[in-house]
Amino acid sequence: MTVGQQRAWEHSWPRLGRKVAELPSGPLDIAGWFGRSAPVLLEIGSGMGETTAQLAAAEPEVNYLAVEVYEAGLGQLMLRAEKLALDNLRLLHGDAVLLLSHHIERDTLSGVRIFFPDPWPKKRHHKRRLVQPEFIALVASRLAPGGMLHLATDWADYAEQMLTVCSAEPLLRNRFPDWAPRPGWRPVTKFEQRANEEGRVSRDLIFERLSSR
């Protein structure tokens, strides 16, 4: 971690963050933590927080949660949050699967975002990819009816995997015939910039949570 990221952990973590492994058992009191009831958006794997900070700033009406396992990334995101004086962003350090399984109630999230998850490009590593049927079923169950799951990736075969997995989940409906048009509000990150330079096309996918089980 850089000195700045370390300082952000010391200074901002007590106010902005919680460790998933240390959460009390049962559902997280999100409204209590934010000090208000508002639609809750969960971003999974916020990385260095480039997108997260900008989107939280652009959506002040939303309670924005980011979950990430990478400490330096969370430190960087806290630096960005301090700079932008964000008060609608909270950070969770740990595994999204544990968070969703044990601390997020069913039918509650207004949106889930998974932008550029680790691609695990080698075939023998594909099983490590986050977007798998069981994980997407878990995500779908935590979305409120009408809530949106938004994914993006610059790896063609991962985009195909996302499309297949999400299309097969009975609780989700693709809002588009296949790929969603790239939303202008999603910031171009260094990852996407590099993909563009290397000739890889980034794909967005937007699925809506259906109400019936």
Ligand X SMILES: C[S@@+](CC[C@H](N)C(=O)[O-])C[C@H]1O[C@@H](n2cnc3c(N)ncnc32)[C@H](O)[C@@H]1O
Query: Where along the sequence are the contacts to ligand X (CB under 6 A)?
Result: 44-47, 50-51, 67-70, 73, 95-97, 115-118, 130, 189, 191
Distance CA 115, CA 54 (A): 14
Instruction: Evaluate the CA torsion angle 78, 80, 81, 82 in order and state its sign.
Output: positive
- The residues, any chain, with a CB within 8 Å of residue 118's CB and separated by 6 or more, are 45, 128, 129, 130
Strand partners, 43: 66, 113
Phi, psi (deg, nearest 5) at residue 211: -85, -30
With contact defined as beta carbons under 8 Å apart, do 41 and 110 qualify?
yes
Phi, psi (deg, nearest 5) at residue 88: -115, 25
Toward ligand X, which CB reaches closer, 65 or 163?
65
Toward ligand X, which CB reaches closer, 30 or 44?
44
Toward ligand X, which CB reaches closer, 97 or 137?
97
Distance CA 109, CA 140 (A): 9
User: Could you tell me the smallest distance in angstroms from the CB atom of residue 147 to ligand X?
Assistant: 19
The bridge status of strand 172-174 relative to strand 109-115 is unpaired
Toward ligand X, which CB reaches closer, 71 or 82?
71
Catalytic positions, please?
Answer: 118
User: Could you tell me the smallest distance in angstroms from the CB atom of residue 78 to ligand X?
Assistant: 15
With contact defined as beta carbons under 8 Å apart, do 48 and 77 qualify?
yes
